[in-house]
Structure 1
Amino acid sequence: MTGTNHETGLRVVPVADVPAWDEAVWAQGRGTIFSASGWGTYKARRGAAIARLSVVDEAGDLLGLAQVQTRRRGPARQLYVQGGPLLTDKGERQGEAVTRALLAHLALRPLDLAVVDFARAESPGAVLGLLATGFRPVTTAARHTLEVDLTRGLDAIQAEMEPRWRKALRKAERNAGLTARFLDDPAERLAAFDAFATMYDALKTRKGFSNDFDAAAYRDLAAGDPRHVILEIREGDEPCLVRIAHLSRDRFTDFFTASTERAKANAAAYLAVWSFLRRGAEAGCRVFDFGGIDPANNRGVYDFKRGLTRAVAASGPLWLYGRHRLVTAAAGAMLAR
């Protein structure tokens, strides 16, 4: 536990109790998997040092939460917060003080850089806190997504989808050999994730792209977390597509998908997304989030998503903070490319 910050009167308290951390995260309306412990565990497996920090006032009331990933790059550190900082209802009125307390606790060095990615979890108080403390927003064309308003009802959504999308969906629904199942059994979820990982590796080879997602490091975390929704589509007895989403209080967000070549012919992707919309509506979610678009560099996926909805939304900027303006400016220029 740290002492009281003299500037704000608040205390930053490291949280070692993982279940207590997750309980606090999911008690917040904007809590997501990115602020929950599992994501921190995954990042720790990928080499980051993880600190789970709570901010409390003089009465001991919780005001904010931040899961900080720290990586060293030579003499510098990057301190990265995803899915936060989360503010409680009381903390929402003290966003600037919460941010200042966190910065004081993190004690940035001259070459260090703090990066905040709300991942759609921003609140007015949290954004004002960043602005007031000198964080700089940086965005790119790729930080956009497409959304479906689930409150309008599935009939209205289907009526407004492009004819090609409706035709492909009907084709998949008429195929008696094509089955879609949401998996709850732990063993089935692990098996489906393994099938996804195999398909995903083949997809990267087939399409010639790479990223830093480590399926082996994430396997048990995704399979063991009910807020990861795992859908398996089979044609006959063979899996042809696995799609994974993550669930928060009012958002159902597409996360990862992989398929075999058969999925192109049987329209499994259309059935999968439509199944996600149904599941999200049943869960009381307000929005289905397609998880991002990149029309300039991934036109095929963009065209698929655009056939269902054209409701584009900004995913929000990355927020950068350094003690020296040159550090922030250099990082901002690199990230904005």
Structure 2
Amino acid sequence: MITNYKIETFKRPSDEWVKLLNKFDDANIYQTTEFAENSNYGKNIEHFVISKDNKILGIALVRIFILPILKRGTAYIRWGPLWKLKDSAINLDNLTLVLTALWNEYVTKRKLHLNIFPNIFKEKDNNLIPVLTGIGFNLKEYDNPYQTIYLDLSPSLKELKKNFRKKWRYELNKSCKNELTITRGKDAKYFDEFLKLYKEMHQTKQFVEHINVESFKKMQQSLPDSLKMDVFLAYHEDEPIAALVGTNIGEIGIYLLGASARKGRELGASYQLQWYMLSWLKESGCKYYDLGGIDPEGAPGVTRFKAGLGGTILTSYGEFGAVTNTMSKGLVLLGEKLKSK
């Protein structure tokens, strides 16, 4: 039974929220204030904290979209709620309490549609589905569900390298002979170098952009130092030729963005960048490396490259929705249309 829970709203990034994030193994960049502020629904953010007997059990950063006049809408949580406390055994009762509290606050009390996109996958998280559906959440089916590749970082670096696919390992070894210099940093000059490479690559390849890289730059500027993204740069003869952007918040490191110039592609710089990223994540204590999504049909080359590291392909369950009546559901659909404009 829930003894008490509280909601606090921080107007700007707060040291208190950073401290709370640091309590959870499943903390991630998508649950930071700065990511939310640079995303849809970014103007109305709430930081949800649930505790029992004065002990924090879970938290969630909630983005809220309210339809004008009607005062109905949706509450959205991406890669949350967070409930896996550090140095604690996995406790599904905690997850049940957190999800129930969220339902009570946003669905029952405020009459909002609650939409949750948890970071869970069909291949490894089947035990969590009865918890969600038991409370009343319904799974939203997608024709093309999100997929990614996870790499278990528990083996030694030697074993990890041995597990690379033969061609990938060959390309890495070949690249290491090209006298590249790899650096890592968090400050603005690193991100500016990445953006230059990204824009050059986009101009050359003319691919469809699914993310706004400029929003990541704004996010980087406002993130506290402990949560800032790390940018890896590959240089050849003092010239930046490739870059990788990643994060190591929580137990799962994430590959977020990448770019390379023609020279970088010729010298295989991306292979070295991935190796440095993987090594850094393992050294910093991450248990897994999420290679940031794959699209086997739309981007087969990128998918093959990521698969070369020898990880496991995972398929996301997707989003879970909670709505109590058809009127609210209709308002939510209208709100989604308005949001997309």
* Cα shift at 1:14: 1.4
What is the match of residue 306 of structure 2? 305
Contact 1:117/1:318 (CA < 8 Å) preserved in 2?
yes
Q: Give CA deviations for 1:265-303 in whole Å, capped at 9, x if unaligned.
A: 010110100111211222232222211111011111001
- With the length of structure 1 as denominator, give the TM-score of the two structures: 0.81
In the alignment, structure 1 residue 322 sits paired with structure 2 residue 320 = no
**Distance of 1:251 and 1:142 partners within structure 2:** 20
* Cα shift at 1:150: 1.8
Matches within 5 A, 1:5-154: 8-16=2-10, 18-43=14-39, 47-57=42-52, 59-72=53-66, 77-87=73-83, 88=85, 92-107=92-107, 112-120=112-120, 129-138=131-140, 140=142, 141-154=144-157
What is the match of residue 242 of structure 1? 243
- With the length of structure 2 as denominator, give the TM-score of the two structures: 0.80
Query: Secondary structure of the equivalent of 2:247?
Result: strand
**Distance of 2:259 and 2:232 partners within structure 1:** 11
* Cα shift at 1:307: 1.9
Query: Secondary structure of the equivalent of 2:31?
Result: coil
Q: 1:125 to 1:43 in 2, by over 3 A?
A: farther
Match of 2:166 among 163, 172, 181: 163
**Distance of 1:112 and 1:134 partners within structure 2:** 14
**Distance of 1:202 and 1:79 partners within structure 2:** 38
Query: Secondary structure of the equivalent of 1:309?
Result: coil
**Distance of 1:111 and 1:65 partners within structure 2:** 20
**Distance of 2:166 and 2:125 partners within structure 1:** 37
**Distance of 2:111 and 2:200 partners within structure 1:** 40
Q: Give CA deviations for 1:180-210 in whole Å, capped at 9, x if unaligned.
A: 11225xxxx2111112223333434433312
**Distance of 2:156 and 2:129 partners within structure 1:** 31
Higher relative contact order (CA 8 A, sep 6+): 2
Query: Secondary structure of the equivalent of 1:38?
Result: helix
* Cα shift at 1:222: 5.6
Q: Give CA deviations for 1:21-45 in whole Å, capped at 9, x if unaligned.
A: 211121112222222333233337x
Contact 1:11/1:101 (CA < 8 Å) preserved in 2?
yes
**Distance of 2:109 and 2:196 partners within structure 1:** 42
Contact 1:15/1:54 (CA < 8 Å) preserved in 2?
no
Percentage of identical aligned residues: 18
Q: 1:212 to 1:149 in 2, by over 3 A?
A: closer
What is the match of residue 210 of structure 1? 209
Query: Secondary structure of the equivalent of 2:275?
Result: helix
What is the match of residue 339 of structure 2? none
**Distance of 1:92 and 1:77 partners within structure 2:** 29
Of residues 137-146 and 248-257 in structure 1, the stretch that sits farther from structure 2 once superposed is 137-146
Give the residue type in structure 1 aligned to 2:5.
Answer: R
Query: Secondary structure of the equivalent of 1:43?
Result: coil
**Structure 2: 5+ residue runs without aligned partners?**
337-341
* Cα shift at 1:219: 3.5
Of residues 106-115 and 230-239 in structure 1, the stretch that sits farther from structure 2 once superposed is 106-115
What is the match of residue 194 of structure 1? 192
Contact 1:25/1:31 (CA < 8 Å) preserved in 2?
yes
Query: Secondary structure of the equivalent of 2:210?
Result: coil
What is the match of residue 4 of structure 1? none
Q: 1:19 to 1:235 in 2, by over 3 A?
A: same
* Cα shift at 1:107: 4.4
Contact 1:149/1:286 (CA < 8 Å) preserved in 2?
yes
Give the residue type in structure 2 aligned to 1:246.
Answer: T
Q: 1:56 to 1:128 in 2, by over 3 A?
A: farther
- CA-atom RMSD, angstroms? 3.3
**Distance of 2:67 and 2:226 partners within structure 1:** 32
Q: 1:268 to 1:245 in 2, by over 3 A?
A: same
* Cα shift at 1:128: 5.0
